[in-house]
Amino acid sequence: MKEHTGTILIVDDEESIRDILCRKLQSQGYDCVAAVNGKDALWKAFMQDFDLVFMDIKMPGMSGMEVLPKMITDHPDTCVIMVTAVSDIQTAVEAMKLGAYDYLPKPFNLDDLIMRTERALERRRLVLDNKQYQLRLEQRVEQQAGQIQQYHSEATEALSREQAALAEMEATRQPLREESKMEARADGETSSPAKGLAKKLSQLLGGKTPGSADGRSDTAHTQTDATSEETREALPQGQVKEA
Domain ranges of the chain: 7-132
Which amino acid is it at 152? H
Evaluate if residue 221 carries a pLDDT over 60. no
Which of these ranges, 145-159, 178-192, 205-219, has the smallest mean pLDDT?
Answer: 205-219
Residue pLDDT, tens place only, 23-79: 999 999 999 999 999 999 999 999 999 999 999 999 998 999 999 999 999 999 999
3-state secondary structure of 144: helix
Strands 31-35 and 7-11: parallel
Among residues 31, 27, 20, 21, the alpha carbon closest in space to that of 1 is found at: 27
pTM: 0.58
215, amino acid identity: G
d(CA 140, CA 100): 33
Query: Which fold would CATH assign to domain 7-132?
Result: Rossmann fold (3.40.50)
pLDDT tens-place string over residues 69-100: 999 999 999 999 999 887 777 888 889 899 99
Host H or E run for residue 121 = helix 110-204
